[in-house]
Structure formats: structure tokens, C-alpha cells
Structure 1
Amino acid sequence: MYSQYKQPSATIGDRLKNSFIKGNALTRLIYINIGIFLLVKIINVLVILSGQKAGVGNFLLENLGIPAYFDSLLTHPWTVFTYMFTQFDFFHLLFNMLWLYWFGSFFLNHFTQKELTGVYLLGGLCGAFTYVLAYNVLPAFELSRYYSWAIGASASVMAVVFAVCLYLPQQRIYIFLIGPVKLIYLALFTAAIDILSIPSSNAGGHIAHLGGAFFGYLFVLSVKHNRNIAGATTTFFEKIGKLFIGRKKMHVRQKKNVTEMNDREYNAYKKQKDDRINKILDKISRSGYESLTKEEKEILFRSGK
């Protein structure tokens, strides 16, 4: 007979916390969207149970959503960020997160986590700018601009979707009941649907989608010209965050294992390694093997294994 102490199992809260901390940028973006959705719904339930009218709960959404009228936006500047993490109902959340998960996973096969976060944020900001501009300039929204507001991750998600589709235009994905479809055709079809749907009751949402899609195009264009606008923006926000925190923490950067690199990172790593070997070989041809330093000899030895 023997006794054994049972280790306390981690609670669901602990598991979610660890998953958020140790997860990648895609996991965190999805968790933030789900967390804000649940928080808003719980507050709305508490408002109703307190005896208030159900409509009072929408007050919170209106203060998280971005107002169409420019003067209202000046008094609610935080909404340019909060709107892209706030969803109206469960199906709104579900479809946005499914698209984000599918295409975010594609994205991370070719780009970094910082770039994913940057595309999400800048795509959302571009969607917000397009939405507010359209409602304050176009005559069709002359009256509705005063009371309209928008919420949803759709513009940010569209930025990620279009970044993937335009970076890998010939890549095929299988669509149920349709079959294999090139990503470029999926992008064009999605953009066409949004353009044709502008006369609907959700005109602002479709306009914001197009703004996000446009940033996806700008991101791919910047990558082809070796300009990392998304990654640089994420780094900028990180620096701003450190300023607000006040105390700069030590950050230890660990080298990635080759097996953990995406295609772009591996190609850059291989090119850097090949360039280094070529320089060492050139040095040997000019001055002989004995002219190499100890480090250069080790590099040459490892490359020959």
C-alpha cells in the first residue's frame, strides 16, 4: 500500500493564460477578439438583469465602434483601434475568426508574427479611414453620417486575406462544392462582392472591407520593394508601449531553429550563410588558408559537414 500526492491540475483560466502568453500572434489576435466579445455580452446581460432596457447595453458597443461623423470621431479617438476587435454577434465573430485563422495560418508560413500583427492593425486603420472618408465626402451618406458607427474585425481580416492572395496569386485552395480555386480569383470575387454590396444596409462595412483589402495590396507591394511597413509599424507600437510602461525590461532574443523558420526567413538565412562562405573562399584564393581566422576556419569546417 502506498499513497501519492496528486499534482493540482491547471484550471481552464490558467490554460488559456498560458496559451495566450506562449501562443503566436494569430492566437493572441483571436483571443483578444473573443475576450472583448464575451466581456461586452456579459456586461449587456448584467445591464438587462439590473432592470435596464436592453438598448442600454448597446451604449458600450457605440463607444467601442468607430463613428462615421468626423466631429464625433474627434471626441472618440480610441475607437479607431477598439472597433477592429469588437463584434456585433456570435456569427459575426465566428466568420471573422474563421477567416482570420485560415488566412492567418497561410500568412505565417511566409511572413513573421510582427508582420501579421502589423497587417491586422494597419488594415483596420485603413478600413477606418476609408469608412470615415466615404461617409463625410459622398452625398449618399449626407444624413446617415451623423448617427452611423461601425464595429468588426472584417477590415483587418480582409487585409490579411488580400495580403496572402496577392502574394501567392497562383496558389490553389479547395472550396466546398466548387473545387480548387486560385487565390487571385478568390480575392477578385471577394472585392467584387463588397463593391456590389455597397448599396445594401451595411454600406459602411463593405467600404471598410475595401479599405482593408487595399492595405493588403500595399503590404505585398512593400514586400516586393524590400520595405517592411507592417513589421516596422508593430515595432513602433512596441516602443510606444514600453514608454507607457515606463520601465524597460530586458529582452533576450533567441535564435530560431532552421526548422521553425518560414520560407522567407529561411531564404534570407541561407543567402547570408552562402555569402559568408563565398567571402571566406575568396580570402583563401587571395591569401591562402593560413590567413583565415579561427572563427572563419570553424565556419568553413561546419559548412563542410
Structure 2
Amino acid sequence: MSVYQQDSFWNAFKRGFLSMPPVIRTIIAINVVIFVLMALLGSWISEPLLSLFAFNPDPFTALTQPWRIITYMFLHGGGFHLIFNMLWLWWMGRMVEESIGPRTFSVIFFGAGIGGALLQVAYASVFGANFVIGASGAVLGIMVAFAYLFPTAPIMLLFLPPIQARFFVAGWIALDFLLLGSGDNVARLVHLGGAGTGFLLTKMHYQGYDLSSLVRPIEQIFKGKGGSKKKKKKPKRSDMYAVSDVEIMEEQDVDELDEILEKISKKGYDGLTAEEKKKLFDLSKKN
């Protein structure tokens, strides 16, 4: 009986984890793995990781060690720090990623984290600042995106009545602003910079800017590296398409599918034109 229960729990956990949107699933997995390694191996690994990958807001260090502006988002100083960041990312982020797509979601998440770090650099250049770790700025950027997309969605908190998302997130930002300089060892400026950047990027998306175009060149770099090892030159035949032509057609299909899915998320399936419905059906048969 206990074996059956354990197997059922594991299968349920696996199904729940795999059902998360892909970007959120990846971010949570990396954060949890790194935190577990730091907890299990102690200072033997945590000190080198922090010294190499935590964000140092010193302008010279930020300029000469630019990887820190990304890697600091995957380091957390304690269990509650990690749990709350990942829970808020999951609670609010999944609806955002499902609505705007994984590429645009990635731009907002990492853009908010970078924006928060850069604001901390501006502050440190005048007043000095400590090392920064944690995904809080990036997560707050996603929370702002959620409030922008679903302003009246109810947020349920213990012992409190439902609060609309726009008021909840605005209150969170106001609290960070009020606690600036309180000496509580929380990077409030990173939070505020992340919130502001998240708002700007989300607004740009709904004004028609294709934020996903920032991700596609990075995808092509990894595809190129992965494919360069496997590709072998073969005699060209007149009755076959060139490999590059096939890849371009696949890219176009992906872009068209993204546009159709985004329209479905905004207007529903019935909002598609007959031509778009036919295109969606044709693409589904290809897959």
C-alpha cells in the first residue's frame, strides 16, 4: 500500500511539474537544483558560487563581469527566500506565460531582473552597495505583467478578503518604496527596478513591439552549435529542397503559429478568420 501511495505521489508530482509552462518550469528547476546543492555541500560550493555569480553592483565589476547580471537571479540566501520567489513566479507567472508565449515571457522576466540590477548599479556608484542575489526583481516584473494583463483578478491572502491584482501589486511596490534605506538587507531598488522594467516591457508588447524577436537570435546560436556537429555535406540533388530552405519554412511556420496562438489567447478560437483556422489545422497536421 505504501509503495502504491509513494508511486502515486511521485507520478502526481511529475505530472504537475511537467504541466507548468516551459520557461517557468526551467527557471524553478535551475533555482531549486542550485539551492539544494548549496545546502547539501555547504560552504565548499556556496562560497565559490556566490563569489563568482552573485551580482556585484560596483560599476567596474558589473562592466567587466557581465554574466553576473543574469546568474544572480538563480542564487538564493535561504529557503524562504527561494520558496516565496518560486511560488509567486508559479502563481502569477503561469497565466502570463500562457497568454504571451514563452519567448516574450523570457524577455520580461530576464529584462526585469537586468533592469533591477542596473538601478542598483546607479545607486552603488554614489552610495555603495552589497552583493545582490535572488530572483525577486525579475519575479516582481512578472507580477506587474500579471496585474497589467489581469488587473481585476482576485488575489487570495490568509485572513484577508480577495484583493484585485492591480491593488495588490501596487501595494507591494509602495511597501518596497517606503522601506528604502531601512537597513533590512533587502535590495529594494532591485525590486523597484524590476517592477518598472516589467511594466515597460509588458506595455511595449501590447503596443505591438515583438519582444520575442530578441530571443530568436539566441535560439539560432544554440541551434547552429547543435547542428554543426551533425551536418555532413551530401551531393545536391535537383529533386530535393536545400536544408536551409526547409529550416526557413519551419521558422515561418513557428512564427505564424505563435501569432495565431496569441490571437486565440486574446480573442478565443472564434476570433480567428477562416484562413487562420485553416492554417492552424494545416500546422497541426505537420506536427
Larger radius of gyration: 1
Point out where structure 1 has 5 or more consecutive residues left out of the alignment.
1-8, 48-56, 278-294, 300-305
Identity of aligned residues (%): 24
Q: How many Å apart are 1:200 and its aligned residue?
A: 2.2
User: Are residue 65 (structure 1) and residue 54 (structure 2) matched?
Assistant: yes
Corresponding residue for 2:152?
Answer: 170
User: Are residue 232 (structure 1) and residue 230 (structure 2) matched?
Assistant: no
Stretches of 4+ aligned residues off by more than 4 angstroms: 19-23, 243-246, 248-257, 261-264, 268-272, 274-277
Corresponding residue for 1:129?
Answer: 118
Corresponding residue for 1:93?
Answer: 82
Q: How many Å apart are 1:33 and its aligned residue?
A: 1.0
Could you tell me which amino acid in structure 2 is paired with residue 194 of structure 1? D
Deviates most, 151-160 or 70-79: 70-79
Corresponding residue for 1:267?
Answer: 267
Q: How many Å apart are 1:153 and its aligned residue?
A: 0.5
Query: Would you say the 8 A contact 1:36–1:86 is kept in 2?
Result: yes
| Aligned pair partner of 1:205 in 179, 187, 195 | 187
CA deviation map 1:66-86 (0-9, x unaligned): 101111223322101100111
Deviates most, 108-117 or 213-222: 108-117
| Aligned pair partner of 2:173 in 181, 188, 191 | 191
Corresponding residue for 2:68?
Answer: 79
CA shift in 2, pair 1:135/1:203, >3 Å: farther
Q: How many Å apart are 1:38 and its aligned residue?
A: 2.0
Corresponding residue for 2:23?
Answer: 25
| Aligned pair partner of 2:201 in 219, 222, 225 | 219
Corresponding residue for 1:51?
Answer: none
Q: How many Å apart are 1:212 and its aligned residue?
A: 0.9
Query: Number of paired residues?
Result: 246
Q: How many Å apart are 1:270 and its aligned residue?
A: 4.6
User: Are residue 149 (structure 1) and residue 111 (structure 2) matched?
Assistant: no
Distance 2:115 2:264 in 1: 26
CA deviation map 1:178-220 (0-9, x unaligned): 1111111011101111111111225661101111111221122
TM-score by length of 2: 0.73
Distance 1:221 1:248 in 2: 41
What secondary structure sits across from 2:215 in the alignment?
Answer: helix
Point out where structure 2 has 5 or more consecutive residues left out of the alignment.
1-6, 231-245, 283-287
| Aligned pair partner of 1:39 in 37, 40, 61 | 37
TM-score by length of 1: 0.69
Corresponding residue for 1:119?
Answer: 108
What secondary structure sits across from 2:162 in the alignment?
Answer: strand
Could you tell me which amino acid in structure 1 is paired with residue 29 of structure 2? Y
Query: Would you say the 8 A contact 2:155–2:165 is kept in 1?
Result: yes
Q: How many Å apart are 1:110 and its aligned residue?
A: 1.9
What secondary structure sits across from 1:175 in the alignment?
Answer: coil
